[in-house]
Structure 1
Amino acid sequence: MDKEAVLTHVLMQRRTPSLLGGEQPVSVLSSSRYVSQRTDREVEDQLASLDHTILSALSSEVKTVLLVGGEGSGKTTALEKLVVAWAKGEHLQNFTCVLYFGLREIRSLKDELSLETLLQHHHSPVPSESTQLVLQKPEDVLFVFDDLDQYKLSLDASVHTLCSDPRQAVSLSCLISSLLHGSLLRGAAFVVTTRPTGHLKFLSGTRVKVPGFSKLQRETYFKGFFTDPAAANKALLHMERTLGFYDFCTSPRFCWTVCSIYKTLMDAGARLPDTLTQLYVDILVHLMQALSLKEACNRELVQALGVMASHCSASQNSSCTKEELHSFGFQKILCSVGAFLHVDGDLESDACVFSFTSPLMQEFLLAVSFFLDTSASEGVAKMLEKYKGHAKFLDLFLSGLSEPDQHRPLEILLGGFNSDRILDFKSWFKSSSEETLKGCYKDRHHRCFHLLHQAQNLSLVKEIISPSERRGISYGDLSLQDCVALNYVWSCLGEMKLLNLYSTRDLTEEKAEVLAPAMSLSHKIQLSNSTLSTGAVSHLASALSRGRTEELDLNHTSLAGEKFKVLCAGLRDCKLHTLTLLGCELTEASCEDLMSVLTSGSSQLRVLDMMFNQIGDLGFTKLCKALHSPQCSLQQLQLRSCELTAVSMEPLSAALCSGTSELRKVDLTTNTIGDGGVEALCKSLQHPHCKLQSLNLIDTELTGVCCPHLRETLMSEHCSLLELDLSVNDLGQEGALLLCQALSRPGCPVEKLGLSHNLDFQCHKSKNHLSQISGEIQITFILCAPPCRLTRCELTQRVFKELGSFLRSGTSLLKSLKVGLNKVGDQGVKHLWDAVAHPGCLLEELDVEMTDLTDACVEDLCAAVRASKTLKTLELRNNSLTDASVPALVQVMEDSCNMQEMNLKYNDFSEDVFEMMEECGRIRY
Structure 2
Amino acid sequence: MVTFLKKELQRFKQILRPDYKETFDVKTEEGRDAREGVLKMALHFLCKMGHQDLADELNENELNVLCQNELKRNLKNKYQSVFEGIAKHGSSVLLQRIYTDLYLTEGGSGKISEEHEVRQIEYRTKRSVEEDKPIKCADIFKPSPGQNKPVRRVLTKGVAGIGKTISVHKYILDWAEGINNQEINFIFPLCFRELNLMRDKECSLMDLLHHFFPETKTLTIGIENKYNVLFVFDGLDECRLQLNFAGNESLTDVTGVTSLDVLLTNVIKGNLFPSALLWITSRPAAASQIPPECVDLVTEVQGFTDSQKEEYLRKRINDEGLASRIISHIKSSRSLHEMCHIPVFCWIAAMVLEIIYSSGQTESPKTLTEMYTHFLIFQTRQRNIKFDNVHDLKTKWNHALVLNLGKLAYEQLEKGNLIFYEEDLRDCGIDVKEAAVFSGMCTQIFREESGIFLGTVFCFVHLSIQEYLAALYALLMMEVERADTISTQSSTPTRITSQKNAVDKALGYEDGRFDLFLRFLLGLSVESNQSLLHGLITMKQIQTGNDETISYIKDKIREASSSERMINLFHCLNELNDHSLVEEIQSFLNAGTLAEAQLSSGQWSALVFVLLTSDQNLDVFDLKKYIRSDEALLRLKPVMEESHTILLSGCGVTGEGYAALAAALKSNPSSHLEELDLRGNDPGDSGVELLSDLLQDPQCKLRRLRNPLLLKELDLSERIPGDSGVKQLCALLEDPHCRWKKLNLSDCGVTGEGYAALASALKSNPSLLEELDLRGNDPGDSGVKLLTDLLQDPQCKLKKLRLQSCSITAEGCAALVSALASNPSHLVNLHLTNNKLGDSGVVQISTLLGNPDCKLQRLW
CA distance in 2, matches of 1:124, 1:400: 50
Q: 1:323 and 2:423 equivalent?
A: yes
CA distance change for structure 1 residues 461 and 125 in 2, over 3 Å: closer, same or farther? Answer: same
Instruction: For residue 399 of structure 1, report the CA deviation from its aligned partner.
Output: 2.4
CA distance in 2, matches of 1:137, 1:161: 21
Which structure carries more relative contact order (alpha carbon 8 Å, separation 6+)? 2
CA distance in 2, matches of 1:256, 1:144: 25
Q: Deviations over 1:159-199 (max 9, x none)?
A: 32232222222222222222222222222221121222132
Secondary structure at 1:70's aligned position in 2?
Answer: coil
CA distance in 1, matches of 2:102, 2:575: 33
Matched ranges for 1:401-420 at <5 A: 401-413=524-536, 415-416=538-539, 418-420=541-543
Matched ranges for 1:298-317 at <5 A: 298-317=398-417
CA distance in 1, matches of 2:410, 2:246: 37
Match of 2:468 in 1: 364
Secondary structure at 1:99's aligned position in 2?
Answer: strand
Q: 1:231 aligns with which of 313, 322, 326?
A: 322
Matched ranges for 1:419-434 at <5 A: 419-420=542-543, 426-434=547-555
Instruction: For residue 291 of structure 1, report the CA deviation from its aligned partner.
Output: 1.5
1:453 partner amino acid:
N
Secondary structure at 2:534's aligned position in 1?
Answer: helix
Match of 2:176 in 1: 87
Q: 1:5 and 2:70 equivalent?
A: yes
Q: 1:38 aligns with which of 104, 113, 128?
A: 104
Match of 2:342 in 1: 251
Q: Deviations over 1:345-397 (max 9, x none)?
A: 48998954433332211221222223322233232223443454221112221
Aligned partners of 1:322 and 1:352 also within 8 Å: yes
CA distance in 2, matches of 1:155, 1:440: 40
Aligned partners of 2:420 and 2:457 also within 8 Å: yes
Q: 1:385 and 2:450 equivalent?
A: no
Match of 2:711 in 1: none
Aligned partners of 2:143 and 2:150 also within 8 Å: yes
Match of 1:281 in 2: 373
Aligned partners of 1:343 and 1:354 also within 8 Å: yes
Instruction: For residue 142 of structure 1, report the CA deviation from its aligned partner.
Output: 1.8
Match of 1:886 in 2: none
Match of 1:451 in 2: 572
1:305 partner amino acid:
L
Match of 1:151 in 2: 239
Aligned partners of 1:179 and 1:185 also within 8 Å: yes
CA distance change for structure 1 residues 406 and 296 in 2, over 3 Å: closer, same or farther? Answer: closer
Q: Show structure 1 runs of 5+ residues with no match.
A: 488-500, 509-524, 532-553, 558-582, 586-925
Aligned partners of 1:149 and 1:200 also within 8 Å: no
Secondary structure at 1:17's aligned position in 2?
Answer: strand
1:231 partner amino acid:
L
Instruction: For residue 52 of structure 1, report the CA deviation from its aligned partner.
Output: 4.8
Aligned partners of 1:143 and 1:191 also within 8 Å: yes
Match of 1:261 in 2: 352
CA distance change for structure 1 residues 158 and 480 in 2, over 3 Å: closer, same or farther? Answer: same
1:81 partner amino acid:
K
CA distance in 1, matches of 2:151, 2:562: 48
CA distance change for structure 1 residues 125 and 398 in 2, over 3 Å: closer, same or farther? Answer: same
What TM-score comes out, normalization by structure 1 length?
0.47
Same amino acid, percent of matched pairs: 21
Q: 1:375 aligns with which of 476, 481, 493?
A: 481
Match of 1:56 in 2: 142
Aligned partners of 1:99 and 1:124 also within 8 Å: no
Match of 2:307 in 1: 216
CA distance change for structure 1 residues 392 and 28 in 2, over 3 Å: closer, same or farther? Answer: farther
Match of 1:101 in 2: 190
Instruction: For residue 54 of structure 1, report the CA deviation from its aligned partner.
Output: 0.7
Matched ranges for 1:47-196 at <5 A: 47-57=133-143, 61-107=150-196, 109=198, 111-123=201-213, 125-126=215-216, 128=218, 130-132=219-221, 135-138=223-226, 140-196=228-284
1:97 partner amino acid:
F
Match of 2:694 in 1: none
CA distance change for structure 1 residues 269 and 459 in 2, over 3 Å: closer, same or farther? Answer: farther
Instruction: For residue 433 of structure 1, report the CA deviation from its aligned partner.
Output: 2.3
Aligned partners of 2:235 and 2:280 also within 8 Å: yes
CA distance change for structure 1 residues 126 and 419 in 2, over 3 Å: closer, same or farther? Answer: closer
Matched ranges for 1:627-776 at <5 A: none
CA distance in 1, matches of 2:267, 2:454: 32
CA distance in 2, matches of 1:54, 1:24: 31
Instruction: For residue 280 of structure 1, report the CA deviation from its aligned partner.
Output: 0.8
Secondary structure at 1:407's aligned position in 2?
Answer: helix
1:9 partner amino acid:
N
Q: Deviations over 1:112-138 (max 9, x none)?
A: 22233344454263362x514x65334
Aligned partners of 2:379 and 2:439 also within 8 Å: no
CA distance change for structure 1 residues 357 and 79 in 2, over 3 Å: closer, same or farther? Answer: same
CA distance change for structure 1 residues 410 and 113 in 2, over 3 Å: closer, same or farther? Answer: same
Aligned partners of 2:143 and 2:149 also within 8 Å: yes
Aligned partners of 2:154 and 2:278 also within 8 Å: yes
Instruction: For residue 97 of structure 1, report the CA deviation from its aligned partner.
Output: 2.0
Q: Deviations over 1:885-920 (max 9, x none)?
A: xxxxxxxxxxxxxxxxxxxxxxxxxxxxxxxxxxxx
Q: 1:199 and 2:320 equivalent?
A: no
1:313 partner amino acid:
L
CA distance change for structure 1 residues 356 and 476 in 2, over 3 Å: closer, same or farther? Answer: same
CA distance change for structure 1 residues 449 and 179 in 2, over 3 Å: closer, same or farther? Answer: closer
Instruction: For residue 527 of structure 1, report the CA deviation from its aligned partner.
Output: 8.3
1:290 partner amino acid:
Q
Q: Deviations over 1:227-268 (max 9, x none)?
A: 333333332232233145776432222222222222222212
CA distance change for structure 1 residues 417 and 191 in 2, over 3 Å: closer, same or farther? Answer: farther
Aligned partners of 2:397 and 2:536 also within 8 Å: no
CA distance change for structure 1 residues 10 and 272 in 2, over 3 Å: closer, same or farther? Answer: farther
CA distance in 1, matches of 2:248, 2:374: 49
CA distance in 2, matches of 1:433, 1:255: 32
2:427 partner amino acid:
S
Instruction: For residue 22 of structure 1, report the CA deviation from its aligned partner.
Output: 13
Secondary structure at 2:483's aligned position in 1?
Answer: coil
CA distance in 1, matches of 2:346, 2:132: 23
1:54 partner amino acid:
I
Instruction: For residue 274 of structure 1, report the CA deviation from its aligned partner.
Output: 0.8
Instruction: For residue 444 of structure 1, report the CA deviation from its aligned partner.
Output: 6.9
CA distance change for structure 1 residues 480 and 369 in 2, over 3 Å: closer, same or farther? Answer: same
Query: How much is the aligned-residue C-alpha RMSD, in angstroms?
Result: 4.8
Aligned partners of 2:87 and 2:445 also within 8 Å: no
Instruction: For residue 209 of structure 1, report the CA deviation from its aligned partner.
Output: 1.9
Q: 1:242 and 2:333 equivalent?
A: yes
CA distance in 1, matches of 2:340, 2:208: 39
Q: 1:340 and 2:461 equivalent?
A: no
CA distance change for structure 1 residues 466 and 45 in 2, over 3 Å: closer, same or farther? Answer: closer
CA distance in 2, matches of 1:26, 1:91: 24
2:345 partner amino acid:
F
Secondary structure at 2:140's aligned position in 1?
Answer: helix
Matched ranges for 1:618-629 at <5 A: none
Number of matched pairs? 505
1:126 partner amino acid:
T
Secondary structure at 1:208's aligned position in 2?
Answer: strand
CA distance in 1, matches of 2:365, 2:315: 22
Aligned partners of 1:65 and 1:205 also within 8 Å: yes
CA distance in 2, matches of 1:255, 1:217: 11
Secondary structure at 1:143's aligned position in 2?
Answer: strand
Aligned partners of 1:73 and 1:253 also within 8 Å: yes
Instruction: For residue 505 of structure 1, report the CA deviation from its aligned partner.
Output: 5.5
Aligned partners of 1:112 and 1:172 also within 8 Å: yes
Instruction: For residue 429 of structure 1, report the CA deviation from its aligned partner.
Output: 2.7
CA distance in 2, matches of 1:26, 1:7: 20
